[in-house]
Amino acid sequence: MKEDLYSDIRPYNDDEIPAALERIVNDPFFVPAVNFAFPDADMERIAEVVRTCKTVEQLQERVMYSIIKRIIETSIDNFTFSGVENVEKDKGYLYISNHRDITLDSFLLQYALLSNGIPTTATTLGDNLLRSQFVVDICRINRAVRVIRKTDDIQPREFLQNSMHLAEYIRWYISQGKSMWIAQRNGRTKDGIDATDQGVLKMVSLNGPESFVENFSELNIAPIAISYQYEPCDVQKAIETTVNQLGGTYRKGENEDMNSILYGIRMPKGNVNITICEPITQEELQECGALPKAEAYKRLKEIIDNRIYHNYMLHETNYIAHDILHRSKQYSSYYTPAAVKKFKERMAYAEANFMQYGLNLKAARKVYLGIYAGAVDTKK
């Protein structure tokens, strides 16, 4: 079976689901993780429903759909989704998305797809998150595809081989009429600027046809734009970015990524929007293919970014942060005094955390505002 060639990175197959679910409900972290995300959850009922699932589809329909719906109900004021008309249900796509939250970006997309009768996607996920069997099982039952991150321990040749292996699997998966989600860059956006890394485009093109047009035609790229009124983990992002900008080296604590996932789930997010943008067209690929190879990747990156910027829904918080950052009232017609008051209260909470962490308050404040304000500039 061709898929067995990718057993080191692929999601679980249906015959692996029951054993993985049994490990999950028996793991010591299961109860505290569920209680943290959903304090009033009926644990016995959840475990009972989980054990009835024998396939990925059953798991997503019986468990994950309800979990994500609960996340929306408890932490999102209004969730909107558009762009259904841009994709065909029986066709595989490579969804290239801006990346704001470790898991919610993809989870919310899956919920939207299920709600509209569109097949869900596999999701690429950095192996830095897969540090325990519990997390591995949670991710692989939800169609996570393991991405081996570049580290000092991995030699360039080995990293290239890993990238080729992943690229081959992505191309094969899409050729089966199934879709895959991948972030436009390595890691979440932490400065408010959603920019596609050309390295991602070069990676997915490995092992493809020599022709630039044929290569990317096989992948059916459809950009995804997601925006949050209140950025998940905005305080943590600002702390990490400020430390690095001021010449330090931010070092994540034990289980920090898992804590970020849980905080991202629980923290209020206001209004959230996801848009499936129009897929990259043959005409656009031909425009890119007519350029020298280096310029072709650059032009494709620009096309993807412009799709995301055009479809990115700006919120009051984006305009408020931009005006505060630039000491102006340029966008004052886009927000209300009540919205300003609420944003400043959230910013005061962030500043208290910055001081507790011992950061330069002025620098951290600028970074924090930039997380929200950056989208206004890219939208222009």
Express each pLDDT in 104-131 by its tens digit. Answer: 999 999 999 999 999 999 999 988 888 7
Residues 281 and 352 in one domain: no
Residues 290-340 pLDDT 10s: 999 999 999 999 999 999 999 999 999 999 999 999 999 999 999 999 999
Question: Are residue 157 and residue 288 in the same domain, yes or no?
Answer: yes
End residue of a domain, out of 313, 334, 367: 313
| 166 lies in the same domain as 210 | yes
The verdict on residue 215 lying in a domain is yes
Which of 313, 348, 367 is the endpoint of a domain? Answer: 313
Answer yes or no: is 118 within a domain: yes
Determine the angle formed by the axes of helices 361-379 and 337-357, rounding to 10 degrees. Answer: 140
Alpha-carbon distance values, 232 to 103, 125, 204, 237 (Å): 10, 18, 28, 9
Mean of the pLDDT values across residues 333-357?
Answer: 97
Identify whether 109 is part of a domain. yes
Q: Name the DSSP class of 291.
A: S
**What whole-number distance in Å separates Cα of residue 3 and Cα of residue 78?**
39
Would you say residue 63 lies in a domain? Answer: no
Tell me: do 322 and 276 sit in the same domain. no
- Say whether pLDDT at 41 is over 70: yes
Buried b / exposed e along 43-79 (16+ C-beta atoms within 10 A)? eeebbeebeebeebeebbeebbbebbeebbeebbeeb
Helix (H/G/I), strand (E/B), else coil: 179: strand
In a domain, 198, yes or no: yes
Pair 222, 324 in one domain: no
Residue 7 lies in a domain: yes
Same domain, 276 and 355: no
CA 156 to chain centre: 26
CA distances from 142 to 93, 300, 301 (A): 18, 30, 28
Both structure tokens of 349: 């909470």
Neighbours of 109 (CB within 10 A): 24
| 145 and 207 assigned to the same domain | yes
Which contacts of 336-342 are long-range, i.e. CB under 8 A and separated by 24 or more positions? none
Does residue 231 register a pLDDT over 80?
yes
Q: Would you say residue 152 has pLDDT above 80? A: no
Query: Mean pLDDT for the chain?
Result: 93
Distances 292 to 53, 212, 346 between C-alpha atoms, Å? 50, 10, 48
pLDDT in tens, 156-202: 889 899 999 999 999 999 999 999 999 999 889 988 999 999 999 99
Report the pLDDT value the prediction gives residue 42, as an integer from 0 to 100. 81
Question: Do 293 and 161 reside in the same domain of the chain?
Answer: yes
pLDDT value for 3 = 63
Domain of 154, CATH number, reads: 3.40.1130.10
What CA–CA distance (Å, rounded) separates 37 from 27? 16
Residue 294 shares a structural domain with residue 333: no
Instruction: State both tokens at 63.
Output: 């468990």
The residue written with tokens 């793991």 in the block is: 27
DSSP-derived pairing of the beta strands 144-147 and 121-126 = parallel
Got the DSSP string for 206-218? TTS-SSHHHHHHT
Give how far Cα 6 sits from Cα of 63, 147, 168, 170, 377, Å.
26, 12, 9, 10, 41
Lowest mean pLDDT among 260-274, 303-317, 324-338, 342-356: 260-274
Q: Are residues 306 and 341 in the same domain?
A: no
Mean pLDDT of 240-257: 86
- Domain-embedded: residue 333: yes
Q: Do residues 291 and 372 both lie within one domain?
A: no
Q: Residue 32 above 90 pLDDT?
A: no
pTM of the model: 0.94
Domain membership of residue 107 (yes or no) is yes
Residue 322: give the domain boundaries: 318-379
344 CB-near residues (< 8 Å, 6+ apart): none
Helix boundaries (H) for 233-275: 234-245, 256-266
Compute the average pLDDT of residues 5-11.
93
Domain count within the chain: 2
Do 137 and 215 belong together in one domain? yes
| Gyration radius of the chain over CA positions | 21
